[in-house]
Amino acid sequence: MIQQDEGGAEMSIEQAQAFFEKVKNDEDLAKRLSEAQDNESKLEIARQEGFEFELEDAKIAKDALTEEGLERVAAGSQDELLYCAHKQIH
């Protein structure tokens, strides 16, 4: 498990990881993310789906992906949140 100094940060990272899992299994959600204009819009989509995390949490969650998950990455956007979600759906 990822250790963080702030108690809420670990929970937020877990939220980001759970969101990526949901994106992986929900084509409509993945499409909404790919159509979002910026990171704030993507974070708002995550909030609408009941997930609460910040961009930094998404970056940490991305770094925690397993090697198997990384192998599923298709060439995608350099936009961090979309890139993280993109990794989980391909």
Residue 37 tokens, joined: 């204009």
pLDDT in tens, 39-66: 999 999 999 999 999 999 988 887 776 5
Whose CA is closest to 21, among 62, 57, 71, 59?
Answer: 62
Tell me the C-alpha distance between 46 and 13, whole Å. 13
Q: What are phi and psi of 37, to 5 degrees?
A: -80, -30
Question: How far apart, in whole angstroms, are the C-alpha atoms of residue 84 and residue 76?
Answer: 9
Q: What is the pLDDT of residue 73?
A: 46
Task: Give the tokens for residue 28.
Answer: 């409509």
Residues contacting residue 36 through CB under 8 Å, at least 6 positions apart: 42, 45, 82
Write out the two tokens for 29.
Answer: 């959600």
What digits encode the pLDDT tens for the residues 3-17? 444 556 788 999 999
